[in-house]
Amino acid sequence: MFQLNHVLLGNTLIVWLSTLVAALGLTALLYLGRSLLLRYLTGLEAWQDSPLDRYLTALVARTHPLVLAAVAVALASSIPTLTPRLERALLLLGPLALLVQVGLWGNTFIGLWLEVPLKEARSQDRAAATRASVVGFILRVALGSVVLLLALSLLGFNITTLLASLGIGGVAVALAIQNILGDLFASLSIALDRPFEVGDFIVVEAYLGTVEYVGLKSTRVRSLSGEQIIIANADLLKSRIRNFKRMQDRRVSFTFKLACDTPPEKLERLPEAIRHLVEAQDRTRFDRAHFKEFADAALLFEVAYFVLDPDMNLYMDLQQAINLGIHRWCREEGVAFAQRWHPEGTA
């Protein structure tokens, strides 16, 4: 059985027991103080739902018990007589633990800072949610890098030499993963510049469809035929994108051909009839209707109007109603279409 005055590693057992009791006591006091402060902040009615209350409460709650224990051990290490190497290691334990805790606090702060924008964006603007997620990712990477470099500096590493080595290695890595980095920075550009958002109908070269998801590397588009098209973000920024969702109104132009024996007085009345037909439709604005030219064995009419809504289905419904109206007018007036009539139009 050991005696209390027995020497172990340069200190008596009573000194080691005193150190252990001091470490446990300090840990308990620090943890108790954390709990009391957390209860106090939670119970403040005047601070309920205030941003400051949310931040302080979350930061206190995020204070890790192991960090408190590490600080307590570092403080209690001054009691025994230690070897220089062990003393130096225990002296570094406290600052390293606090540095880790600062990293945890910073990560919590970033999460709280983005919590409200992300919550609102997910229900209203999914593109804003992607943008906030990208910003949060970049901030967390930057915070982690700073904490890591400071920790290495505390441990005695030469940060200048390390950064120089990382710079040389970073160039090689960047060359190896330049496509991935290109897509990553392209996603950041899309998130900040917002050329399109989730739900927009876009045309990219030969591909067209509705944007379903904007990620860090690629954007996913649901085509009209149903399949999902995955396009790298870097390729998107190099392409010309037509965003039909941003269209405030749609200009429609179409032509039709009548028989050459149509009486002139009916040709004169037809533009006015088309005007009334277009203006009778909801959400349209008439532009013009003209007997444009003499085509091959036909009389060519051209009509232009605006649909005051970018919806494709609405445009098709209105165009169908106008086509039926023109066909009905021609039948009532005894006007025939050209025998080899092929409708032409753009929208």
Tens digits of per-residue pLDDT, 9-49? Answer: 666 777 778 888 888 888 899 889 888 888 887 776 555 56
- Cα(207)–Cα(230) distance, integer angstroms: 10
State the pLDDT confidence band at 268, using cuts at 50, 70 and 90: very high
Is CATH 1.10.3720.10 the classification given to domain 250-346? no
DSSP state of 262: -
**Residue 344 · residue 255 · CB < 8 Å:** yes
3-state secondary structure of 229: strand
Q: What is the pLDDT of residue 341?
A: 46
Q: What is the pLDDT of residue 150?
A: 83
Q: Express as a percent the part of the chain with pLDDT over 90.
A: 23
Q: What is the pLDDT of residue 301?
A: 95
The DSSP secondary structure of 279-295, one letter per residue, reads HTSTTEEEEEEEEEEEE
Residue 37 token pair: 């402060």
Task: Provide the pairing of β-strand 218-223 with 241-243.
Answer: unpaired
- Cα(261)–Cα(338) distance, integer angstroms: 10
pLDDT above 80 for 106: yes
- Cα(287)–Cα(306) distance, integer angstroms: 7
**Residue 79 one-letter amino acid:** I
pLDDT above 70 for 338: yes
Query: How do residues 224-263 score in pLDDT, each as one tens digit?
Result: 888 999 988 888 888 888 888 777 888 999 999 999 999 9
Give the torsion through C-alpha atoms of 75, 145, 191, 219, to 10 deg. Answer: -110
- Cα(58)–Cα(229) distance, integer angstroms: 41
pLDDT above 90 for 167: no
State the span(s) of the chain assigned CATH 3.30.70.100.
250-346
Under 8 Å CB-to-CB from 128, ≥6 apart: which residues?
Answer: 117, 120, 121
State the pLDDT confidence band at 84, using cuts at 50, 70 and 90: confident
Q: What is the pLDDT of residue 252?
A: 93
**Residue 236 · residue 323 · CB < 8 Å:** no
Mean pLDDT of 117-121: 59
Q: What is the pLDDT of residue 280?
A: 94
State the pLDDT confidence band at 162, using cuts at 50, 70 and 90: low
Under 8 Å CB-to-CB from 38, ≥6 apart: which residues?
Answer: 57, 60, 61
- Cα(112)–Cα(106) distance, integer angstroms: 10
Q: Please, is 178 exposed, middle or buried when counting C-beta atoms within 10 Å of its C-beta (0-12, 13-18, 19+)?
A: exposed
Q: What is the pLDDT of residue 214?
A: 82
DSSP state of 62: T
**Residue 302 · residue 310 · CB < 8 Å:** no
- Cα(78)–Cα(11) distance, integer angstroms: 12
Q: What is the mean pLDDT of the chain?
A: 80
Residue whose token pair is 């800072």? 113
Helix, strand, coil percentages, rounded to 5, for the chain: 60, 20, 20
State the span(s) of the chain assigned CATH 2.30.30.60.
190-245
Identify which has the larger pLDDT, 247 or 167. Answer: 247
State the pLDDT confidence band at 279, using cuts at 50, 70 and 90: very high
- Cα(305)–Cα(322) distance, integer angstroms: 11
pTM of the model: 0.47
Mean pLDDT of 70-79: 80
- Cα(93)–Cα(78) distance, integer angstroms: 13
Long-range contacts of 52-59 (CB under 8 A, 24+ apart): 54/112, 55/109, 55/112, 58/108, 58/112, 59/105, 59/108, 59/109
Could you tell me the CA-to-CA distances from 232 to 130, 185, 223, 235 in Å, in that order? 16, 11, 16, 5
Residue whose token pair is 């009916």? 266
pLDDT above 70 for 125: no
Architecture of the domain whose range is 190-245: Roll (2.30)
Where helices occur in 194-232 by DSSP H, the ranges are none
